[in-house]
C-alpha cells in the first residue's frame, strides 16, 4: 500500500462510471445488476483489489462465492496480478465447496461427522431405491427421481421433513415426507451428506451454534455472491448469515440469465435482497463490451418477449458487425457437417480470421454432441467436449471411488453395496438383502454389521431374536473376507500415500484383473483409472491423513466445466447451461427447434418457457463477433428420427439481422429455396392444419388421381418422406395451398437443398 490514491487511480482506470461506482461502493449492501458482457468479473475482481489496496482490508477478510470452480479459479487468477501472493488469502469458492469446508471444520457440533462423504446424484438414487424398498413403496407408482427432487426442493428451502407441511395434502406429498424421513436416517447412518445437505446443514450450524457462526461472521468483513440469480433460498440464507456482522454484502447477478430454477434457484432472491436490505444500493451495468450491435440487438429482441422481467437497457459502442447466419440441414448429420465446414472456412487459409479455440458449438442437451463429434472426427477437426459422459460418473471410476470412500468411511452403505460383490466374490443378492435387514434391525451400518458377524460376536446383537446366524458358512466366509479386505486397506492408509492406496485397491481387491478379464473394454477402462489416478496426484501435497478426504471431496464437487482447458487448437462443444459465464468470438447454436430449444418438457408451462428463452439468450450473448443459428428438418430421437419445426425463438430475431439462409449444400440452382423466415413462420402455423387436412385417415392410402392438380386435397403433410426423380429423397417441411394447387416445400437429403414444388407438377412420391 505504497500510495493508495495511486492504487485507486490504477484500479479505477478504464472502468465506466457505473463500474467505478460499483468498485467504490464498499460500505453496506450492494446489488449489482450486470447484463451479459458488461464487465462483471472485472468489476468483482477490481472491487476486491480496491478493498485490499486502497481501503486496506486484509485479503483474509474477503469472501466471494461463485457458481463454478472455474469461475472461482478465474477470479483468483485475475486477482493475482494486482494482489500478488496475497490473492491466495481471499476466499474464492463455490457455495458447495465453502460449505463442505465449514462442515468439516465445525460440523460435529450438529452431528456431522468429520469424515462425511458427499453423495452425488447416482448415490442419492441408489439410496432412494433402498428407502423405497424398505418402506415398501412401489417405484413404478412413485418415481424415485420425483421423490428425490421433491426432497431436494424442500432442502433448498431449508425445510426438513419435520418442517415439510402437508401443503396440498396429496398422497404423493405424504409419501415424500415419509421417504424424506427415512432417507435422512439412512444418510445419517452412512455418515453421508447429499449436495443439498451441504447447504442445509451449514445453515443449521450457523443457526444453532452461534460460536461457529461468529467465526465466519467476524472473519468476513466483505462477502460477495456471484451469479446471484442462480442461488437458492438456502444459499442466500447462508450468505446473509455470513454477512450478518458487517452487512457488507455484495451480490451480482442478471435476472435475464437465470437458468437454474429447475435446480431450485429462486429468482425472488433478488427481490428479497432489496427487502432484507432496504438501504442497499443498486447499480446496473448496461454497457456491453462483448458483442457486436447485431448480436446484441438479436439478444434484446429475444429476451424482450419474456413477460416476467424488468426491462433493461443494454447497449454497446461496438460496431454493427456481420449478420447472424441461420442454417438449415436435412438432419443432424448435415447440421453438424455445416458447422464443421463453416468452422474450417473461418479458421483455415493463409491468414484465417479465427483460431479453433475461438469457436464454440452450443446445444441444449448433451446427446446432441454426438453428431457433432462424429462430424469433427470425419473432417479431422480437433474438439473438446465439456461435460457429456462425465468422467467421474464412469463405472470403473465410481467403483474405485467407492473403495476409497469405504477406506475413509466404512459406514458408507451406498459405496459398500456398490463394491461388495465387484469383482464378484460370492456375495449375491440374497446375502446382501439379508445383510441389509440385519443392519437395519440392529440400527447400524452394513459394515458394522459385518464387523459384528466377523468377530463371531454374540450374534444376538446382530441377528434378531429367534433367528440364528442366517448365513450359510460360505456366505459368511465371503463376508468376513470382504471385511478383512477393507480393514487391511484402511490400515494401509497409515503407511502409504494416495497413489499407493489406489494401486493396492486395484491389486488386492482383484479389480484390475477383473477389468482385464472383461476383455473388450477392459483396456479402455484401465486407462480411465490411470487418468483418475493422475488426478489424485494433485492431492499428494496434502498430509497423508487429509489427502484422501480432500481428494474425495474434489471428486464430488468438481464439475466438468471446471476442468475445461483453454485450448487454442480445438473447438469447444458445450451445453448452453455450461456456457454460462463464458464467451467466444464465434458461437454456433445447434438444434434451434421446437422440442429442443425450447425443450419439450417446458412446453406446457409458461414459466419454464421463459426460462428456455433465457437459456437461448444466454447462448446468443456468449458470442462476440459471429453467431450461427442452426437447425435441421429431422431430428434423431431414441433411435428413430422425427421431423422438426423451427424454434419459436428464431422467429423472434428480426429478419434484418440475419443473412439469407445457408442451405446444405446448394449445388442445385434450379429452384430458389425458401427464405427461412416467412417460410418457417408459415410452416409452423400451417403444420397443424395440414395435419388435420391430410391425415385424418390412413396416411398410406393414396388419392385416386394424383395428377389432378386442382383437387383441393393436399397429398402430403409435414414430416412425410418423399422421393423426387432428380432430387432424390427428402422430407416435407410444409404443404400449403397455392393457386388452386399445393405448394410443397421439401428438404432433400444429401445436400440437394430445400425446394418448393407444386404438387400438381412435381412427380413426388411418398415413401415409407
Partner DNA sequence: CGAGAATAGTTTTTT
Partner DNA sequence: ACTATTCTCG
Which residues have a catalytic role annotated? 40-41, 226-227, 257, 622
- Residues between 427 and 466 with contacts to DNA, criterion CB under 7 A: 427-431
What mask of x and - would describe binding to DNA in positions 556 to 595, judged by CB under 7 A?
A: -x-xxxx------------x-xx-----------------
Closer Cβ to DNA, 392 or 686, answer by number: 392
Which residue spans within 330-442 are E strands per DSSP?
A: 359-363, 383-385
- Residues between 378 and 407 with contacts to DNA, criterion CB under 7 A: 387
Residue with cell 465387484: 422
Q: Could you tell me the smallest distance in angstroms from the CB atom of residue 298 to DNA?
A: 22
What mask of x and - would describe binding to DNA in positions 737 to 766, judged by CB under 7 A?
A: ------------------------------
Query: Angle, to 10 degrees, between the axis of helix 95-106 and the axis of helix 195-208?
Result: 50
Residue with cell 488386492: 508
Q: Which of 143, 282, 322, 491 binds DNA (CB under 7 A)?
A: 143
| Segment interacting with DNA (CB under 7 A) among 2-10, 32-40, 92-100, 239-247 | 92-100
Q: What grid cell was written down for 530?
A: 490411470
By CB under 7 A, residue 118 contacts DNA: no
By CB under 7 A, residue 539 contacts DNA: no
Q: With CB under 7 A as the rule, give the number of residues binding DNA.
A: 47
| Segment interacting with DNA (CB under 7 A) among 245-253, 424-432, 619-627, 731-739 | 424-432
By CB under 7 A, residue 78 contacts DNA: no
Q: How far apart are CA 441 and CA 435, in angstroms?
A: 10
By CB under 7 A, residue 129 contacts DNA: yes
By CB under 7 A, residue 415 contacts DNA: no
**Phi, psi at residue 655, to the nearest 5°?**
-60, -30
Contacting residues for 268 by C-beta, under 8 A, at least 6 apart = none
Interior angle at CA 134, CA 129 and CA 137, nearest 5? 70
Q: How far apart are CA 201 and CA 183, in angstroms?
A: 15
- Residues between 22 and 41 with contacts to DNA, criterion CB under 7 A: none
The DSSP string of 513-569 is HHHHHSHHHHHHHHHHHHHHHHHHGGGTTS-HHHHHHHHHHHHHH--TGGG----TT
Query: Is residue 642 within a helix (H) or strand (E), and if so which, with residue range?
Result: strand 640-643
By CB under 7 A, residue 365 contacts DNA: yes
By CB under 7 A, residue 644 contacts DNA: no
By CB under 7 A, residue 475 contacts DNA: yes
Return the number of other C-beta atoms located less than 10 Å from residue 761's C-beta. 10
By CB under 7 A, residue 248 contacts DNA: no
Nearest to 557, CA basis, from 119, 105, 5: 119
| Segment interacting with DNA (CB under 7 A) among 163-171, 336-344, 417-425, 620-628 | 417-425
Q: Which of 50, 95, 628, 649 binds DNA (CB under 7 A)?
A: 95
Q: Could you tell me the smallest distance in angstroms from the CB atom of residue 475 to DNA?
A: 5
Asked if residue 731 lies in contact with residue 722, where contact means CB atoms within 8 angstroms, the answer is yes
By CB under 7 A, residue 262 contacts DNA: yes
CA 213 to chain centre: 31
Q: What grid cell was written down for 70?
A: 472455474
By CB under 7 A, residue 669 contacts DNA: no
Q: Could you tell me the smallest distance in angstroms from the CB atom of residue 360 to DNA?
A: 13
Asked if residue 63 lies in contact with residue 224, where contact means CB atoms within 8 angstroms, the answer is yes
Question: β-pairing, 584-589 with 640-643?
Answer: unpaired
Residue 306 carries which DSSP code? -
Q: Which of 281, 312, 355, 425 binds DNA (CB under 7 A)?
A: 425
Q: Where on the chain is the footprint of DNA (CB under 7 A)?
A: 67-68, 94-97, 120-122, 125, 129, 140, 143, 145, 195, 259, 262-263, 364-367, 387, 421, 424-431, 475, 557, 559-562, 575, 577-578, 599, 601-602, 608, 638-639
Amino acid at each position: 500500500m505504497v500510495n493508495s490514491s495511486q492504487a485507486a487511480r490504477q484500479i479505477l482506470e478504464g472502468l465506466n462510471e457505473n463500474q467505478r461506482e460499483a468498485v467504490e461502493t464498499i460500505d453496506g449492501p450492494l446489488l449489482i445488476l450486470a447484463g451479459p458482457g458488461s464487465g462483471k468479473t472485472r468489476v468483482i475482481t477490481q472491487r476486491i483489489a480496491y478493498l485490499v489496496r486502497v481501503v486496506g482490508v486484509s485479503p483474509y477478510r474477503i469472501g466471494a462465492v461463485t457458481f463454478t470452480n472455474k469461475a472461482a479459479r478465474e477470479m483468483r487468477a485475475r486477482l493475482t496480478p494486482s494482489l500478488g501472493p496475497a490473492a491466495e488469502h481471499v476466499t474464492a469458492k463455490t457455495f458447495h465447496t465453502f460449505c463442505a469446508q465449514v462442515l468439516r471444520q465445525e460440523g460435529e457440533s450438529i452431528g456431522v461427522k468429520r469424515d462425511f462423504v458427499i453423495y452425488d446424484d447416482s448415490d442419492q438414487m441408489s439410496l432412494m431405491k433402498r428407502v423405497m424398498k424398505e418402506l415398501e413403496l412401489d417405484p413404478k407408482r412413485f418415481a424415485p427421481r420425483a421423490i428425490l427432487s421433491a426432497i431436494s426442493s424442500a432442502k433448498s428451502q431449508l425445510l426438513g421433513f419435520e418442517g415439510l407441511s402437508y401443503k396440498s395434502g396429496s398422497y404423493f406429498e405424504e409419501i415424500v415426507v415419509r421417504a424424506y424421513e427415512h432417507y435422512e436416517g439412512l444418510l445419517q447412518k452412512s455418515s453421508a451428506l447429499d449436495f443439498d445437505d451441504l447447504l442445509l446443514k451449514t445453515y443449521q450450524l450457523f443457526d444453532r451454534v452461534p460460536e461457529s457462526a461468529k467465526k465466519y461472521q467476524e472473519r468476513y468483513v466483505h462477502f460477495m455472491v456471484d451469479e446471484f440469480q442462480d442461488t437458492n433460498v438456502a444459499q442466500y440464507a447462508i450468505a446473509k448469515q455470513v454477512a450478518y456482522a458487517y452487512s457488507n454484502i455484495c451480490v451480482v447477478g442478471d435476472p435475464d440469465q437465470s437458468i437454474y430454477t429447475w435446480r431450485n434457484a429462486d429468482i425472488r432472491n433478488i427481490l428479497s435482497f432489496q427487502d432484507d436490505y432496504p438501504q442497499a444500493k443498486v447499480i446496473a451495468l448496461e454497457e456491453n463490451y462483448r458483442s457486436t450491435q447485431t448480436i446484441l440487438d438479436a439478444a434484446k429482441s429475444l429476451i424482450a418477449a419474456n413477460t416476467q422481467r424488468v426491462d433493461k437497457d443494454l447497449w454497446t459502442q461496438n460496431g454493427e458487425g456481420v449478420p447472424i447466419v441461420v442454417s438449415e440441414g436435412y438432419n443432424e448429420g448435415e447440421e453438424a457437417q455445416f458447422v464443421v465446414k463453416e468452422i474450417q472456412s473461418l479458421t483455415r487459409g493463409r491468414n484465417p480470421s479465427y483460431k479453433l479455440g475461438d469457436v464454440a458449438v452450443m446445444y441444449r442437451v448433451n446427446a446432441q454432441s454426438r453428431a457433432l463429434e462424429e462430424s469433427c472426427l470425419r473432417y479431422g477437426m480437433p474438439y473438446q467436449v465439456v461435460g457429456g459422459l462425465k468422467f467421474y460418473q464412469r463405472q470403473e471410476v465410481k467403483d474405485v471411488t467407492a473403495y476409497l470412500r469405504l477406506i475413509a468411511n466404512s459406514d458408507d452403505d451406498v459405496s459398500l453395496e456398490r463394491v461388495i460383490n465387484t469383482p464378484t466374490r460370492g456375495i449375491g443378492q440374497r446375502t446382501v438383502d439379508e445383510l441389509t435387514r440385519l443392519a437395519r434391525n440392529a440400527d447400524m451400518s452394513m459394515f458394522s454389521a459385518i464387523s459384528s458377524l466377523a468377530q463371531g460376536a454374540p450374534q444376538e446383537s446382530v441377528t434378531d431374536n429367534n433367528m440364528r446366524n442366517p448365513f450359510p458358512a460360505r456366505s459368511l466366509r465371503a463376508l468376513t473376507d470382504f471385511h478383512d479386505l477393507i480393514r487391511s486397506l484402511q490400515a494401509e492408509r497409515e503407511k502409504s500415500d494416495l497413489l499407493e492406496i489406489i494401486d493396492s485397491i486395484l491389486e488386492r481387491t482383484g479389480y484390475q484383473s477383473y477389468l482385464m478379464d472383461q476383455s473388450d473394454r477392459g483396456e479402455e477402462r484401465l486407462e480411465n483409472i490411470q487418468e483418475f489416478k493422475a488426478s489424485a496426484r494433485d492431492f499428494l501435497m496434502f498430509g497423508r491423513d487429509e489427502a484422501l478426504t480432500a481428494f474425495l471431496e474434489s471428486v464430488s464437487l468438481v464439475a466438468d466445466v471446471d476442468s475445461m482447458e483453454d485450448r487454442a487448437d480445438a473447438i469447444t462443444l458445450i451445453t448452453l447451461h455450461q456456457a454460462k459465464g463464458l464467451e467466444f468470438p464465434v458461437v454456433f447454436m445447434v438444434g434451434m427447434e421446437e422440442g429442443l430449444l425450447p425443450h419439450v418438457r417446458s412446453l406446457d408451462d409458461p414459466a419454464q418457457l421463459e426460462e428456455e428463452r433465457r437459456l437461448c439468450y444466454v447462448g446468443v450473448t456468449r458470442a462476440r463477433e459471429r453467431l450461427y443459428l442452426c437447425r435441421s428438418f429431422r431430428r434423431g430421437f431414441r433411435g428413430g428420427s422425427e421431423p422438426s419445426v423451427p424454434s419459436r425463438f428464431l422467429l423472434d430475431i428480426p429478419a434484418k439481422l440475419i443473412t439469407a439462409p445457408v442451405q446444405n449444400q446448394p449445388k442445385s440452382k434450379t429452384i430458389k429455396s425458401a427464405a427461412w423466415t416467412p417460410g418457417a413462420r408459415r410452416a409452423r402455423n400451417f403444420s397443424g392444419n395440414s395435419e388435420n387436412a391430410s391425415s385424418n385417415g390412413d396416411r398410406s392410402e393414396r388419392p385416386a388421381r394424383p395428377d389432378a392438380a386442382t383437387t383441393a386435397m393436399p397429398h402430403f403433410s409435414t414430416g412425410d418422406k418423399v422421393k423426387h426423380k432428380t432430387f432424390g429423397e427428402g422430407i416435407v417441411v410444409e404443404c400449403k395451398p397455392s393457386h388452386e394447387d399445393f405448394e410443397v416445400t421439401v428438404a432433400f437429403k444429401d445436400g440437394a437443398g430445400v425446394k418448393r414444388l407444386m404438387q400438381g407438377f412435381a412427380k413426388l412420391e411418398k415413401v415409407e
